[in-house]
Amino acid sequence: MKIVIVGAGAMGCLFAAFFTKSKEDLWLIEKNKENASKLNESGITVEGPNGSWQQKVKVTTACADIGKADLIIICVKSFNTKSAVEQIKPLLTDDTKILTLQNGIGNIEIISENTSEDRVIAGVTNEGSTLISLGKIRHAGHGETVIGSINGKTPVQMRAIREAFNKAGFETKMTRDIKSLIWSKLIINTGINALSAITRLPNGRLTQFEGTRRILRDAVTEATRIAKRKRIKLIFDDPIAKVEAVCEGTSANLSSMLQDVLRKKRTEVDFINGVIVRLGQELGIGVPTNKFLLDLVNTIEQSYKQSAG
């Protein structure tokens, strides 16, 4: 299977290293030519629980170097999804599948609108990867990955994709209800990411203070109301207990949004808390806590340029 990964961030590098190691025909697309050259030369270094290892990978900025692909995995930030899809169109055949394992809501729709719905596979992954520097990542350990098509069908290619992931060392399952999983992950991210980015606290400390615990619970409650109105069944019965358990289970982790803020990078808040705010407006449901979190993270992003000056 020829696999192409778009985006050489933490998750892109993680998948690229493991798929190449398992002898898949793997290409990694990096938009910056200088960075692509460095990655080709040095490969990817993975720091894991059992020590560090290095893997050479094929990296390019040009689709012409690759040819046609069987599977394309989108690993860019949500606000770059549309440009990524435009970039990979020369790689598509009638049978090419596009897999998104991204955060937030909206990526499936963007990919479907710019290609076709029947080629899109969505998923959630509990693999954890932190980008230390270009081509160097920290992999805390393996977690389950679940994939599914948005129409609930199970095409033959999906089974092959699952097998490729399992062969590479990623425990992967299929589901007929991927929307429930994506929304369940959104609920978790709604409670943790923006709040951690604002307070600059690791996940575990969000539940240790009365103020942050109350804000977390309010944000999750609002997001859950939206999910219920849209008749989306979550995979857990008690969303607040689940989010607090995730905080405790990943106590030392810095959320991806906090990592973005510390690096003064654009965040995905518009695709997480911003989704709850937009749907709240459409459905006539008040979501003041998510609006508060969205406004504060947007303000932090806007302040980057001013503080640099």
60 falls within a domain: yes
Is the domain of 118 the same as that of 168? yes
**Tens place of pLDDT per residue across the chain (309 aa):** 999 999 999 999 999 999 999 999 999 999 999 999 999 999 999 998 889 999 999 999 999 999 999 999 999 999 999 999 999 999 999 999 999 999 999 999 999 999 999 999 999 998 888 899 999 999 977 889 999 998 878 878 899 999 999 999 999 999 999 999 999 999 999 999 999 999 999 999 999 999 999 999 999 999 999 999 999 999 999 999 999 999 998 888 889 999 999 999 999 999 999 999 999 999 999 999 999 999 999 999 999 987 654
Is the domain of 18 the same as that of 102? yes
Domain boundary among 176, 205, 227: 176
Q: Which domain CATH number covers 85? A: 3.40.50.720
Is the domain of 63 the same as that of 127? yes
Domain extent for 129: 2-176
Using left for φ > 0, alpha for ψ between -120 and 50, and beta otherwise, residue 239 falls in alpha
Is the domain of 73 the same as that of 158? yes
Q: Which domain CATH number covers 202? A: 1.10.1040.10
Is the domain of 172 the same as that of 186? no
- CA gap 208, 304 in Å, rounded: 29
Is the domain of 111 the same as that of 196? no
CA angle 66, 69, 75 (to 5 degrees): 90
**Looking at the annotation, which residues are catalytic?**
185
74 falls within a domain: yes
309 falls within a domain: no
308 falls within a domain: no
Domain boundary among 157, 176, 195: 176
Is the domain of 137 the same as that of 161? yes
Is the domain of 133 the same as that of 216? no
Quote the pLDDT of residue 31: 93
Quote the pLDDT of residue 128: 84
Domain boundary among 176, 207, 226: 176
In the chain, the number of structural domains is: 2
C-alpha closest to that of 271 among 133, 55, 139, 82: 82
